[in-house]
Chain A
Amino acid sequence: MEKTLKKENFNSLITGLKDQGYRTIAPKKDNNLVTLDEVQSADEIHLDHVQTNNSIKEYFLPKTEKILSYTLEKNKVSIEEPEGFAVKSVVFGSRPCDAASLPIMDKVFNWDCSDKFWVERREAITIVTIACDKCDNYCFCTSVGLAPDSKEGSDVLLTKISDDEYLVETVTEKGEGLIKGLETVFSDPVAGTPDRQVASVEKKFEIDKIKPWLDENFAHKIWAEFSMKCISCGACTFVCPTCHCFDIVDECTMSKGDRVKNWDGCQFKMFTLHTSGHNPRSTQDQRWRQRIMHKFKYYVEKFDNILCVGCGRCSRVCPADMNISEMLEIIATEENQKE
């Protein structure tokens, strides 16, 4: 289904969603940061940005979330299960790369057994993506098989067709249901081909060259070279929409407590540290290699997907100015030279 949406109707859209019981999450400007956050009205929505500083991930895999609660009385333990964590929501104005991360992550959270905290949030949240009309040097979606107007993972895709109007394409039944429920907000498209304003993202490397090189080069010196600058802060893993590693810890007072799942990251030394003191990934080159290998080799072998959507956040946020797409370019070049 195709419709159009005027910018001036954003407010009726958000109000309409609210009336239907949706929480709306959208890009919001706070000082200099544009963050995906809950909004109450369209006035708060900020769309003049390349990328939000946080990814869509935290609405499906929160930074910290209760997986069970317990009360302790003398010798008795009672367990309570969390409820109400899957809030009916719309993410409005996510980027296509963020949306594409969701079906990729569905695989790890559903294989063998399903993580209900992920699955129930996925069911409760509808994704309305806005295609990118601009990009920066860090963006590399086109190098990992996506595009600034990819539909993967979106329920509805909006594409700017003029300064004050968007083309609305429904991608899933869920998206169609959402649009149908708010018919008055949308208009029918005018005849003719609309002028889609979509950014042109430079293709930096051939993704097909990456895995063959990784298959052969676990012990290559490049890992030490790449990670020399790394300070092991793990910011890259936290801003990444596809990094999903987590920790499970107890938080407790005398008689009550929660077991919580927290974001964790492969760049931390503690991540793999054994109780004995032994650490299979004790040095930073091993940990950086793990990050690249997990994204471009291990996940591909296990789930047939690259664990990267080219959003560029890891490189934008890195305090040591490490740039993942530059590294992948080097790897692709190495592979080419081999041939």
Chain B
Amino acid sequence: MENIYKPYLMNISDIIDEAPGVRTFRLNFLNEDEGKNFQFQAGQFALYSVFGYGESTFCIASSPTRKDYIECTFRQTGRVTNALSELNVGDTIGFRGPYGNVFPIEEWEGKNLVFVAGGIALPPLRSVIWNCLDLRDKYKNITIVYGAKTVEDLVYKHELKEWNARDDVNLVTTVDPGGETPDWAGKVGFVPTVVEETAPDSNDTIAILCGPPIMIKFTLPVLEKLGFKQEKVYTTLESRMKCGLGKCGRCNIGCTYICKDGPVFTAEEISKMPDEF
């Protein structure tokens, strides 16, 4: 019988420093056959492990359209992410996944998309953003609103430049007041305010939101004011997880297990959950 807790072994093939304490790893399967058979969809997450330190849960940050590798972006905060930060190109880590549900991007075809992310919450959206950009013809207008505390804290700086240069992407970047630099060309202000100013047309539009609870809390009413119906607003939740398989018993909000029923939910689904976020 298969051991559901056994991870794949992955080689770190590239490391990118994104922001202070934030890194991206590019990972390749050590076993080529496992790599060939591996499939995931945007929105799914995984458990990454440093042997000797343990496992940690975060999203798959690369797009399923880029098939040769997986990328993850993490902030150095706890035991495992600190151990991950010590690793170099060529080192081996464990990877269990993909787990959880997905963004229903096929349902979104023919519609406008508005992505709203704050801080370290861009990685979970980066997978679905690139997925939609790689299938660009299938979607109408694509708007990305991304904010961080300071200019330095913005992640994927090179990709933000790339999106900014594209005619078919409307990128709005913002930093919190005081976080700007003299040459900062983006906006200054909090994400909810900037979303209100940007005022994306809610007609035939899907909004995809990810950020700290405080950002979500203040952005949802703004979207509602702009005419977004709750079932057209998607977000991805996080929680402390150990198994990722609906067994270890800690990631539930009421009857909903984030690891199995989520992490992707609509604002409508979230509004029906008990207040235990």
Contact = CB atoms under 8 A, between A and B. Distances in A.
Report whether chain A binds chain B.
Answer: yes
Interface of A: 67-68, 70, 72, 75-77, 79, 81, 108-109, 111-116, 119-120, 218-219, 244-250, 252, 257, 259, 261, 264, 266, 271-276, 278, 280-281, 286, 290, 293-294, 297-298, 301-302
Contact of A250 (B1, B54, B81, B246): B54
Nearest to B245: A113
Contacts of B255: 297-298, 301-302
A280 B55 contact: no
23 contacts: A70-B51, A75-B92, A77-B51, A77-B92, A111-B246, A113-B245, A119-B1, A244-B247, A245-B248, A245-B249, A246-B242, A246-B248, A246-B249, A247-B242, A248-B54, A252-B51, A271-B240, A272-B240, A274-B239, A275-B240, A276-B212, A294-B249, A294-B252
B25 to A, nearest CB: 15
Q: Tell me the dominant secondary structure on chain B's binding face.
A: loop
Contacts of A76: 92
A275 B4 CA distance: 25
B221 to A, nearest CB: 21
A101 B95 CA distance: 33
A67 B4 CA distance: 9
B5 A248 contact: yes
B184 interface: no
A280 B248 contact: no
B274 A218 contact: yes
A-B residue pairs, 9 tightest by C-beta: A245-B249, A252-B52, A116-B1, A67-B5, A250-B54, A218-B274, A77-B92, A275-B78, A275-B77
Interface string B55-73: 1000000000000000000
Nearest to B258: A280
A274 B75 CA distance: 13
A301 B53 CA distance: 36
A152 B87 CA distance: 51
Interface residues of B, number: 43
Interface string B1-14: 11111110100000
Interface of B: 1-7, 9, 49, 51-55, 77-78, 81, 90-92, 94, 212-213, 238-240, 242-243, 245-250, 252-255, 260, 274-277
A280 B247 contact: no
Nearest to B75: A275
Given A271-B240, A278-B213, 6 more contacts: A246-B249, A250-B54, A252-B53, A274-B239, A275-B77, A293-B254
Contacts of B274: 218-219
A109 B54 contact: no
Contact of A115 (B9, B212, B247): B247
A272 B250 contact: yes
Contacts of A72: 51-52
Contacts of B246: 108, 111-112
Nearest to B257: A302
Contacts of B243: 246, 248
A272 B239 contact: yes
B242 A266 contact: no
Contacts of B52: 72, 250, 252, 257
A248 B260 CA distance: 18
A245 B255 CA distance: 15
A303 to B, nearest CB: 11
Contacts of A244: 247, 249
Given A113-B245, A248-B54, A248-B243, A271 B3 contact: no
B77 A276 contact: yes
Contacts of A294: 249, 252
Nearest to B253: A280
B176 to A, nearest CB: 17
Contacts of B252: 290, 294, 298
Nearest to A254: B52
A77 B9 contact: yes
B21 to A, nearest CB: 12
A245 B5 contact: no
A276 B245 CA distance: 23
A185 B61 CA distance: 64
A250 B53 contact: yes
A281 B51 contact: no
A280 B277 contact: yes
Contact of B247 (A109, A259, A293): A109
Contacts of B213: 278
Contacts of A257: 51-52
A116 B276 contact: no
Contacts of B245: 112-113
Nearest to A78: B9
A111 B246 CA distance: 8
B15 to A, nearest CB: 15
B183 to A, nearest CB: 31
Contacts of A276: 77, 212
Given A250-B51, A250-B54, A114 B1 contact: yes
Which of B91, B246, B255 has the most chain A CB atoms inside 10 A of its CB? B255
